[in-house]
Amino acid sequence: MNASLAVLGWTDLAATIVLAGGLFFAALIVAPSESGRRWRWRAVGALAVVLPAEFCVTALRMYEVSGLHGRVLVLDLLRTRWGLLWMGRSAGVALLAAGGSLPAGPLAALAAAWLVLRSFQGHAGAHGMVPALVDWLHLLAAAAWLGGLVQLALLPRPVPVAIAARVRVLATVALALLVPAGAYAAFLHVPHLHLFTESPYGKTLIAKLVLAAVLMALGAVNHFGHVPAMRRGEPEAETSLIRAVRFEVLVGTLVLALTALLGVLPMPHGHAP
């Protein structure tokens, strides 16, 4: 059951990042390419499938725990905080898909508001308002960064220096939000240092942090190396940038996979120091 929820959670999270990040990219950087727009629609399609699947698996888990089934189980699940937020997220996907004629700015703002629902639905929401809002900032920054990288990799070549420079600024701002929000979440869920190595949640979190450090190192290479080289007109700079961006996206998918796994693992905050 947990394995199924982790796979569904990864698909949900990756599609959420691609959809919201693509909308942020359109509002803050440049209109996406045709390939970029197709990937946004694929994200909508994936969410249209995976959100009902998550509901069904969660209902099956609830059946195993409570013994309820049928209409009673569905109604009880929909009345929970998780169920209400699930309905909000599902309606939000439809709204974002139908809002294609809206200007890029309002559509991006709608996507940012939609991300709030996911933060309140997960572990952070169980801790209260402040942790959920910090998680939202973390998710917002991750979507802007990783979703923006996906769109950058899909732009037709050559990529203008001005666009690469804008993505550089966006990634820097995103990183400024990601690091403190990630540190807050890490110590919220794993409050004692020994639990990082003595609990499955802590060990998975360490693996995620290692990959996140690799992601930041790749971003630093782009920030201090490839983009300035493009400004100097070095012939191989753009090719090197796009190659690094594609590798960042690959590492980012692994980070999201570990994030989804953390979503189904029990948090160790109740353990004694």
* Distance from chain centroid for Cα 256: 7
Question: Does residue 154 contact residue 18 with C-beta atoms inside 8 Å?
Answer: no
Across the range 26-52, mean pLDDT stands at 95
Across the range 157-165, mean pLDDT stands at 94
Split at pLDDT 50, 70, 90, the class of 272 is very low
Split at pLDDT 50, 70, 90, the class of 271 is very low
What is the pLDDT, as a whole number, of residue 15?
Answer: 96
Across the range 22-33, mean pLDDT stands at 95
Lowest mean pLDDT among 10-14, 128-132, 173-177: 128-132
Mean pLDDT of the chain: 89
pLDDT exceeds 70 at position 97 = yes
* Residue 175, token pair as written in the block: 């990183």
Q: How far is CA 240 from CA 114, 211, 232, in A?
A: 35, 21, 14
For residues 23 and 143, give the distance between their C-alpha atoms in angstroms, rounded to a whole number: 10
What is the pLDDT, as a whole number, of residue 64?
Answer: 65
The 10s digit of each residue's pLDDT in 102-155 is 899 999 999 999 999 999 987 777 778 898 999 999 999 999 999 999 999 999
> What is the value of pTM for the model shown?
0.90
**Total number of domains constituting the chain:** 1
Top pLDDT among 43 and 86 is at 43
Q: How far is CA 219 from CA 95, 235, 236, 249, in A?
A: 33, 20, 18, 11
Domain that holds residue 135: 2-270
The 10s digit of each residue's pLDDT in 40-54 is 999 999 999 999 999
For residues 227 and 163, give the distance between their C-alpha atoms in angstroms, rounded to a whole number: 10
pLDDT exceeds 90 at position 70 = no
* Residue 8, token pair as written in the block: 């569904």
- For 63-96, the DSSP string reads HHHH---HHHHHHHHHHSHHHHHHHHHHHHHHHH
For residues 58 and 64, give the distance between their C-alpha atoms in angstroms, rounded to a whole number: 10
